[in-house]
Structure 1
């Protein structure tokens, strides 16, 4: 009995280490993107990232399907899977990295915490989830924090240029589309295992990503990429995407979903800490305060949802950082 309890405790501890690793990996994705944007355009980066991740996700999905036999019901949700791919890996990711290219990495990692806020608003509208006082206070705090971040004059851009402001707005819009992805994913994951959902939604997005590269960017830049840039792209595709998702979903088996979602707010902390020494960015006291207010507001929102669903087991479908 004691050994069984120790085994459960060790799995729980390892799961938390996995969550921490995921937060570091997803935060570093934005830093890596800033580095490669010197040679590579945003949509091409996203397209390469998910194209590289797909071959890694395929065996993971096959293993998951052996453990959970696909039901007839799962075939009915193919539209939801495609919609999840368009909202998440396509629209959300494209907007996220276009916005990142126009603003600072520290702004980006702090504003991306806005996804749960939109998730609560959409849940109230789409799946009739009750809006409580705690949620409303959390939404107000998150909005205030985001405003402090966006209108903070960064040292690299002290005059709040239109480019940086537009980039921040695009980033916030990207969190809305990933919240849409989360609502759709929550519906689809009832009959499709989470890894397969990630794979198929990604596969459905990849063609749209490459068409967007052809239409809006210069495909020839791929021929001029340095070996260092290719190493970063391959690393992000395999480690920051495929491996990170494997760790993320594995941790969800041992830790409550609401706790994992709250822990993912560390992405903003790691991202800011990385952007200072690696990218040479500086962060002001107002920006730090705005990030703290945003994260605290998001935690209030998530705790409000957790209290309502504390007896339910749900699987998250978080931002593909």
Structure 2
């Protein structure tokens, strides 16, 4: 397979991962009307862990890991799976899926801030401008809702969603610094399994299994999608993309996630689209691109192609 074809294939893997992650907010929102967040996460982690286990057996990966890296996996599992998904599922009880999609694109801003504080990266004027733009976009998305005043419950939902982006940034910095020497799919399996273990006592306490009989076929389809495609295939395809493309190039696809969420929210949940929220979301994405130092190279590359 030629180099260009490999890059195209890797791009398709990344595109599919982002599409699955973007739609995940919609599927979560659709099921939360019946299940509480804990029950939803138990079923999702259970389906995801089973799918990844079968996939590992089919791919003939070894499940053995050194005891030295168990604490690393536990930290990543708690932050990247349990806390992250719990914050998002709880936030979606009070905010719409499209707003969640826009806010999740704010995560790289927190990553840059943490990198400056703990990895000694330098702050530049362009990064400062990008951060101001992104924060402005977040304010537009979270404080404008059809001209109506915001209720306290809505504010809490947006706060939880923003906290989830901060949590994901902490997770990303730790994942980079810990450098666990195992295939991403193996790490993902143990993280998903840990998420299942941590949430199971909560569904037992709340007797969440009693509501499972209330789910219809469509809601079970959403759960299967969350478990198989979001927790399983998306992470797997993301890792496959990273095997071929540079991480900086793969990360560019993250800016498309809110678009996938918006389209799915309109088509599947009939959510209303407010122009000011879309404007705020676009401003967030532009700010994040500037912070990551990718806007100037993109413009330069575009101008270069136009030269005769």
From 127, 131, 139, give the equivalent of 1:135.
Answer: 127
Structure 2, unmatched stretches of 5+, are: 298-308
Structure 1, unmatched stretches of 5+, are: 308-321
How has the CA–CA distance of structure 1 residues 249 and 64 changed in structure 2, closer, same or farther, with 3 Å as cutoff?
Answer: farther
Structure 1 contact 107–149 (Cα < 8 Å) conserved: yes
Per-residue deviation at 1:31? Answer: 0.9
With normalisation by structure 1, the TM-score equals 0.84
Correspondence for 1:34: 29
With normalisation by structure 2, the TM-score equals 0.87
Greater shift after overlay, 211-220 or 224-233?
Answer: 211-220
Structure 1 contact 154–283 (Cα < 8 Å) conserved: no
Listed one character per residue, the Cα deviations across residues 285-320 of structure 1 (whole Å, up to 9, x for unaligned) are 21111101101111122237xx9xxxxxxxxxxxxx
Structure 2: distance between partners of 1:212 and 1:129? 40
Structure 1: distance between partners of 2:114 and 2:207? 32
From 182, 187, 198, give the equivalent of 1:192.
Answer: 182
Correspondence for 2:103: 111
Per-residue deviation at 1:250? Answer: 0.5
Structure 2: distance between partners of 1:243 and 1:186? 21
Structure 1 contact 41–217 (Cα < 8 Å) conserved: no
Per-residue deviation at 1:53? Answer: 0.8
Correspondence for 2:81: 89
Structure 1 contact 104–164 (Cα < 8 Å) conserved: no
Structure 1: distance between partners of 2:198 and 2:64? 26
Correspondence for 1:101: 93
Structure 1: distance between partners of 2:116 and 2:43? 35
How many residues are aligned here? 296
Structure 2: distance between partners of 1:139 and 1:192? 34
How has the CA–CA distance of structure 1 residues 70 and 11 changed in structure 2, closer, same or farther, with 3 Å as cutoff?
Answer: farther
Structure 2: distance between partners of 1:217 and 1:114? 35
Correspondence for 2:292: 302
From 269, 273, 276, give the equivalent of 1:286.
Answer: 276
Listed one character per residue, the Cα deviations across residues 231-285 of structure 1 (whole Å, up to 9, x for unaligned) are 2211221122211111111011122211211211111012112212321222222
Correspondence for 2:159: 169
Structure 2: distance between partners of 1:211 and 1:154? 40
Structure 2: distance between partners of 1:58 and 1:125? 37
Matches within 5 A, 1:16-95: 16-61=11-56, 63=59, 65=61, 75-95=67-87
Q: Which runs of 4+ in 1 moved over 6 A?
A: none
